[in-house]
A = this chain, B = another copy of it.
Amino acid sequence: MTLSEENYLKALYHLAKDAKEAVSTNAIAEVMETKASSVTDMIKRLSEKKLVKYKRYQGAKLTEEGKLYAVNVIRKHRLWEVFLVEKLNFSWDEVHEVAEQLEHIKSDKLIEELDVFLDYPSVDPHGDPIPDKHGNIQPLPKVLLATLKVGEKGVCVGVKNSSKEFLQYLDKLEISLGNELTVLSKEPFDNSVSIGMGNTKISVSSLTANNLYVKKV
């Protein structure tokens, strides 16, 4: 499997996660930052290899084999992200690009030993679960901050949007995973949320509250 094929499988996986139906050519083209015609070519190749189910004009869908392959790449990506943060002093907004490269290194021993070395982490620096070596993913109970009612408490456990911009903004607000917060009030006008954290009190926009996962406590 080539690097490019692996990236398409990953994209297919992430796009199909919620939607159960086949994924459209354009949707893939958008996340892959490429042209629809290129997507059609690649989907045909992956279909030849039985990793994707494809009917002309009807979109694409991972087969079980394709899904397993995709999950394995995601496992590598997330383990490397943990390594970069825990061992090499990377911050959570710096790891993604490097992990995008490292996830394509081919060596079973490498990834198993990395898992041992990191002491079997269950989530990556963005709170995303790390699939085990069989491709099983432990889903953690988490909800968006925006869904908490006034008075409820939660611990930050993940981000939905893990763009550099959002992560750096959270850093500026001193919001880190593990922090406990309380919803003090919600503003009906713009859906902003006022939260208490430690002994500070801040207000975050609706957009922010809809991209930060918490675990209710």
Question: Cα distance A87–B94 when bound, in Å?
Answer: 23
Residues on B with beta carbons closer than 8 Å to the beta carbon of A90: 109, 113
Assess the B88–A114 pair: CB atoms within 8 A.
yes
Assess the A107–B98 pair: CB atoms within 8 A.
yes
The interface residues of chain A, by DSSP majority, are classed as: helix
Question: Cα distance A105–B101 when bound, in Å?
Answer: 6
Q: Which of A105, A109, A110 has the most CB of B within 10 A?
A: A110
Question: Cα distance A113–B84 when bound, in Å?
Answer: 9
Known: A88-B117, A117-B87, A117-B88. A101 touches B109 (CB 8 A): no
Question: Chain A contact residues (Cβ within 8 angstroms of B): what range?
Answer: 10 to 19
* Chain B residue at minimum C-beta to C-beta distance from A106: B101
Assess the B113–A107 pair: CB atoms within 8 A.
no
Question: With an 8 A cutoff between CB atoms, is A143 at the interface?
Answer: no
Question: With an 8 A cutoff between CB atoms, is A174 at the interface?
Answer: no
Question: With an 8 A cutoff between CB atoms, is A89 at the interface?
Answer: yes
Question: With an 8 A cutoff between CB atoms, is A97 at the interface?
Answer: yes
Assess the B88–A113 pair: CB atoms within 8 A.
yes
Contact with B along A108-142 (1 / 0, CB 8 A): 01100110110000000000000000000000000
Residues on B with beta carbons closer than 8 Å to the beta carbon of A105: 98, 101-102, 105
- Smallest distance from the beta carbon of A57 to chain B beta carbons, Å? 35
Of B98, B107, B114, which one neighbours A101 at CB under 8 angstroms? B107
Contact with B along A147-173 (1 / 0, CB 8 A): 000000000000000000000000000
Q: Provide 11 A-B residue pairs closer than 8 Å at the C-beta atoms, listed in order of the A residue.
A: A87-B117, A88-B114, A88-B116, A89-B116, A90-B109, A98-B105, A98-B107, A98-B109, A98-B110, A102-B102, A105-B105
